[in-house]
Structure 1
Amino acid sequence: MPNILILGGGAAGLAAALAAAQSAPAAQVIVLERNPKPGKKLLATGNGRCNLDNTGIAPELYFTADPAALRPLLDAVNTADPLRWFRALGLYTRTDEAGRVYPYSNQAADVLALLEHHLAQHHVQLRTGCTVRTLSQSRSGYAVQFETAEGSAETLRADAVICAMGGEAGPQFGTDGFGTRFAAQCGGRVEPLYPCLTALQCAKPRKALAGIRAKAAASLLDGARVLACENGEVQFTDYGLSGICIMQLSGLLAPGRGPKAPAVELDLFPAVDETALASLFAAHAAQTAGGSAADFWLGLLNQKLGRTVWSAAGLQDSDAPAVLTAAQWQKLAHTAKHWRFEGLTPCSWKQAQTTGGGLALREVDQHFQFKGCPGLYFVGETLDCAGSCGGFNLHWAFGSGLVAGRSAAGHAAAGRALPKASAPAKSRKKPHKQK
């Protein structure tokens, strides 16, 4: 009986396990998960609602060091069609106006429960509390040594192994970058890791604005050059800036290829050009005649936010809106449309939704099989592919798991002999990892 081992019981690992069991019913499929229960991070996705896919999947909505290598892999994921697969399992979904796909119940727990139900139906063994220590390769297959929940050492042999141990984002969910270190120990080239889809710390945060939200266009700049722009709600924090549009921009702060002098500019009135905004401000001052600088913002912006913009434009609280010059209105308009925040650094791994960087995409083939090591696969967040907010990461996780699971089933069922560890390409090491 062929054996298939899945290392990691998150989104990618559970999809890989079920796909392998569906494709090779006679195989023994075993999942080794370090947490007491599987799918811990999956339960937190989409604020507990599980934004599991998006109708607008496209390569340019992913962050990677190698966009050319991403395209064929993403094509394989799209062909696997994780959303259609879920619907065949019995998951009824809904799609919002932005193309984000959710379970109709709005409950991530239902997605996990459905997966567990089908895993049980296909007799997949799910072993929790297991910490992987070593992976070794021989002509007869692979051997994985791990520590059980009881603290004893155990070794399982397999015809195929799928590594789905995640990245470094979300240590509160049991991840610590072990999957990527594991890939590096197997001889894979790894792109530097960085917190992705996270809030940004600023050198001079506006702490008094903490908790205030505002619609804006947020632009990431390298010096004076605009690299990207995102529209949405910006949240001011005591350390800097947050909100989905800010988190999207954080994906471009990759070590070694991100901007050398990153800054964010906020346009608080993106629908109005600067000249028109200056005129609007002057007209609004007449409408609120007799009021203070704070009163001027009534009907325009949150007053505390407005007063901060007023100050950033070099105006004083004592300045009466009714007597400002045309040049002052122009300066206020310019500030409101180009409010700059510098000294940016991503927030910690705990706040990051996913991991940027990882195993280089050229290290795997179109089935997510590690080149030079037949029957060994890397999927999900372990790889150098991080998606934008909105279901793109789960599309990649579930889809790469499906592709690898089906391929592993075919490999194991074929019973092909694996080469000796010295046989693969010179860049490959004998797969092993001791934590």
Structure 2
Amino acid sequence: MAHILILGGGAAGLTAALAAAEAAPSAQVTVLERSPKPGKKLLATGNGRCNLDNTGIAPEKYFTADPAALRPLLQAVNAADPLGWLAAHGLYTRTDEAGRVYPYSNQAADVLALLEHHLARRRVQLRTGCTVSTLAQSRSGYAVQFQNAEGTAETLRADAVICAMGGAAGPQFGTDGFGPRFAGQCGGRVEPLYPCLTALQCAKPDKALAGIRAKAAASLLDGTHVLAVETGEVQFTDYGLSGICIMQLSGLLAPGRGPKAPAVELDLFPALDEAALAGLLAAHARQAAGERPADFWLGLLNPKLGRALWSAAALPDTAALTPGQWQKLARTAKHWRFEGLTPCGWKQAQVTGGGLALREVDTHFQFKGCPGLYFVGETLDCTGSCGGFNLHWAFGSGIAAGQAAGRCAAAGNRPPQHGRDPRKKRSR
């Protein structure tokens, strides 16, 4: 009997297992998951609501060192039709006004339970508490060594292996970066890992602003050059800046290819140009009660936020300003600069930037030179923006790889005994 082994029981791994079992009904499919229960990170996605896809899928929504290599792989993910595949398995979804797709129940637990239900129907063996250590070619395909839940060393042989062990983001969910490291052990070129979709620490945070939220346009700059602009709610923290728009910008801070002098500028009034804002501020001074800056911000901005903005503009302690000073305040409000940026650590990061280089796999997510060995999901150098793009990639790559592995197993194909050794680095 053919054996397909899935390393990792997250979103990509579980869909890969089910897709493989359906493509090769006579094969044995086994999932090895390190945590006591599968899908722990999936349960936390979308604050427990599971934002599982987006109607605006496009290459520009993803961060990678190799955009050209991403395009055919993303086409393969789209062709796998994750939403259609989930719908065919009984998941009813809804789409919000921003194109974000959720299970109709708004419960991530329902998505996991549905996958587990179908895996059980297909007699997929799900083994938890298993820590993978090595993979090597064997006479019949591949041999994977791991420590089982009882702490005993064990080896399983498989005709196909799908590596879906995730990245380094979210160690509280059982990840530690082993997936990309494992890809490196198999001889693949790995792009440096970095925390992605995370808050940013600033060199001089204003702790008094912690907890305040404001609508703004956030620009990432390299010195004076604007790299990207995101609009949304900014959250001020005791260490710096957070919010979805800030997290989106963090994806551009990749080691070696990100800005050398990163800074964020906030525009707190993106609907107004600088001249119009200066006029509004001067008019508001005449409407506001009193002449103190503390009174000036009534009906305009959070008072604490306004006072910090006033201080950043280095204005005198009076609301009776000259036209030039109103202009200065308007300029500061539209270009409030935060420097010394550092992404927060892995615990706060939603996903992992970097990973196995995309040119190391084909459009079935098979490791080139090693038939029957696949890498999917967060192990690869592809990170999506907030809003369901990462689960689209995880589900789609898992489905594509699972179906390919299942077809090979059903056809009785075996990896060549003298193919590329997955333990050896390729010369560059």
TM-score normalised by structure 1 residue count: 0.96
Aligned partner of 2:397 in structure 1 is 400
Residues 1:60 and 2:60 are matched in the alignment: yes
Aligned partner of 1:378 in structure 2 is 375
Q: Percent identity of the aligned residues? A: 82
CA distance in 2, matches of 1:314, 1:379: 52
Q: 1:247-305 CA distances to partner (integer Å, 9 max, x unpaired)?
A: 00000000000000000000000000000000000001111153421111111100010
Instruction: Name the aligned partner's letter for residue 219 of structure 2.
Output: S
Kept after mapping to 2: 8 A contact 1:234/1:242: yes
TM-score normalised by structure 2 residue count: 0.98
| Residue aligned with 1:258, SS | coil
Kept after mapping to 2: 8 A contact 1:218/1:230: yes
Instruction: Name the aligned partner's letter for residue 83 of structure 1.
Output: L
* The one of 398, 415, 423 aligned to 1:430: 423
Aligned partner of 2:359 in structure 1 is 362
CA distance in 1, matches of 2:269, 2:287: 19
Aligned partner of 2:51 in structure 1 is 51
Residues 1:391 and 2:391 are matched in the alignment: no
Instruction: Name the aligned partner's letter for residue 231 of structure 1.
Output: T
Structure 1 segment 140-289 matched on structure 2, within 5 A? 140-289=140-289
Residues 1:346 and 2:343 are matched in the alignment: yes
Distance 1:417 1:92, change over 3 A: closer
Residues 1:12 and 2:12 are matched in the alignment: yes
Instruction: Name the aligned partner's letter for residue 403 of structure 2.
Output: R
- 1:429, distance to aligned residue in structure 2 (A): 4.3
Aligned partner of 2:35 in structure 1 is 35
Q: 1:12-70 CA distances to partner (integer Å, 9 max, x unpaired)?
A: 00000000011111110000000000000000000000000000000000000000000
Q: 1:167-191 CA distances to partner (integer Å, 9 max, x unpaired)?
A: 0000000000101010001110000
Kept after mapping to 2: 8 A contact 1:159/1:415: no
Kept after mapping to 2: 8 A contact 1:51/1:101: yes
- 1:412, distance to aligned residue in structure 2 (A): 1.7
CA distance in 1, matches of 2:243, 2:99: 19
Kept after mapping to 1: 8 A contact 2:136/2:422: no
RMSD of aligned residue pairs (Cα, Å): 1.1
- 1:206, distance to aligned residue in structure 2 (A): 1.2
CA distance in 1, matches of 2:408, 2:175: 29
Kept after mapping to 2: 8 A contact 1:187/1:429: yes
Structure 1 segment 111-122 matched on structure 2, within 5 A? 111-122=111-122
Kept after mapping to 1: 8 A contact 2:137/2:422: no
Aligned partner of 1:132 in structure 2 is 132
Aligned partner of 2:324 in structure 1 is 327
| Residue aligned with 1:30, SS | strand
Which ranges of structure 1 fall in alignment gaps of 5 or more residues?
Answer: none
Kept after mapping to 2: 8 A contact 1:135/1:431: no
Kept after mapping to 2: 8 A contact 1:137/1:431: no
Question: How many residues of Structure 1 are paired with residues of Structure 2 in the alignment?
Answer: 425
CA distance in 1, matches of 2:409, 2:23: 11
CA distance in 2, matches of 1:360, 1:17: 23
CA distance in 2, matches of 1:289, 1:16: 63
Kept after mapping to 1: 8 A contact 2:3/2:29: yes
| Residue aligned with 2:276, SS | helix
Instruction: Name the aligned partner's letter for residue 391 of structure 1.
Output: G
Aligned partner of 1:411 in structure 2 is 408
Instruction: Name the aligned partner's letter for residue 158 of structure 1.
Output: A
CA distance in 2, matches of 1:14, 1:362: 24
| Residue aligned with 2:142, SS | strand
CA distance in 1, matches of 2:401, 2:172: 27
CA distance in 1, matches of 2:414, 2:8: 25
| Residue aligned with 2:218, SS | strand
Kept after mapping to 1: 8 A contact 2:200/2:343: yes
CA distance in 1, matches of 2:145, 2:307: 61
- 1:419, distance to aligned residue in structure 2 (A): 2.4
CA distance in 2, matches of 1:239, 1:133: 37
Aligned partner of 2:309 in structure 1 is 309
- 1:431, distance to aligned residue in structure 2 (A): 6.8
Aligned partner of 2:94 in structure 1 is 94
Instruction: Name the aligned partner's letter for residue 366 of structure 2.
Output: Q
Distance 1:145 1:431, change over 3 A: farther
| Residue aligned with 1:133, SS | strand
- 1:350, distance to aligned residue in structure 2 (A): 0.2
| Residue aligned with 2:396, SS | helix
Instruction: Name the aligned partner's letter for residue 81 of structure 2.
Output: D
